[in-house]
């Protein structure tokens, strides 16, 4: 069994493509893995949110993902027409709630797709509540947990861990059995090769998103 730590944010386009490539690669290879989501907010409150939709530089950089996303069956908007880009603290707090209910994987997949494919504002608690209903979460219980800040402390601690302990500067940052890998093409084929080689890869290079932008 592979232990995979996946440092991510739900508004990082590279993260969605990498997660789907990983999912399909695991299915193809038949390998078993325990995937743990590790949050890192690209924009933490109260830092000013960014407008990715009108950022031509970002749009150009995102083009590396166009073909891999298509091959993986992802009809992504690069970037989505959600201005400004949402804060994701509440979405992550909702993920802790969903994980406690045994729906963590379904929830994380929903958040990525709601933002990048449906152009939903996943920083809005009402939008999040409606999305949570889709996977069978109790909407009132979910909404009350967000409003009460039930998971705020844990979420903030985990984001701090990503930055201060793991020293993550770009996402996705993926660790397989404790070893950091680097992605260049974001394809299923690349991920299959990495898994097959027991994650023998470099921790340098690759394309990713950081708090100051995506390369």
Residue range 161-188: mean pLDDT, rounded: 95
Q: What is the DSSP letter of 58?
A: H
Flag whether pLDDT at 160 surpasses 60.
yes
Flag whether pLDDT at 198 surpasses 90.
no
Query: How many CB atoms are located within 10 Å of the residue 166 CB?
Result: 15
What whole-number distance in Å separates Cα of residue 68 and Cα of residue 73?
Answer: 9
What whole-number distance in Å separates Cα of residue 114 and Cα of residue 121?
Answer: 8
**pTM of full prediction above 0.95:** no
What whole-number distance in Å separates Cα of residue 82 and Cα of residue 122?
Answer: 9
Query: How many CB atoms are located within 10 Å of the residue 129 CB?
Result: 19
Helices (H) and strands (E) in the chain, counts: 9, 6
What whole-number distance in Å separates Cα of residue 18 and Cα of residue 76?
Answer: 13
E strand or H helix that includes residue 83: none
User: pLDDT tens for residues 54-99?
Assistant: 999 999 999 999 999 999 999 999 999 999 999 999 999 999 999 9
E strand or H helix that includes residue 173: strand 173-176
Flag whether pLDDT at 53 surpasses 90.
yes
- Calculate Rg over the CA atoms of the chain: 16
Pair 111, 131: CB distance under 8 Å: yes
Residue range 153-180: mean pLDDT, rounded: 96
């Amino acid at each position: 069994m592979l232990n995979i730590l996946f440092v991510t944010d739900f508004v990082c386009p590279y993260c969605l493509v990498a997660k789907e490539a990983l999912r399909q690669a695991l299915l193809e290879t038949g390998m078993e893995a325990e995937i743990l989501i590790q949050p890192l907010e690209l924009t933490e409150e109260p830092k000013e949110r960014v407008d990715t939709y009108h950022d031509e530089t970002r749009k150009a950089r995102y083009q590396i993902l166009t073909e891999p996303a298509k091959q993986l069956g992802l009809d992504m908007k690069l970037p989505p027409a959600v201005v400004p880009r949402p804060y994701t603290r509440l979405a992550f707090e909702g993920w802790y709630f969903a994980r406690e209910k045994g729906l963590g994987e379904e929830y994380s997949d929903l958040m990525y797709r709601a933002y990048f494919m449906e152009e939903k504002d996943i920083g809005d608690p009402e939008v999040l509540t409606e999305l949570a209903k889709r996977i069978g979460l109790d909407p009132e219980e979910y909404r009350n947990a967000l409003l009460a800040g039930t998971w705020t402390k844990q979420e903030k601690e985990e984001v701090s861990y990503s930055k201060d302990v793991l020293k993550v500067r770009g996402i996705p940052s993926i660790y397989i059995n404790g070893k950091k890998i680097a992605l260049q093409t974001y394809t299923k084929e690349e991920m299959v090769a990495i898994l097959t080689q027991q994650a023998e890869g470099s921790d340098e290079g690759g394309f990713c998103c950081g708090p100051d932008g995506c390369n």
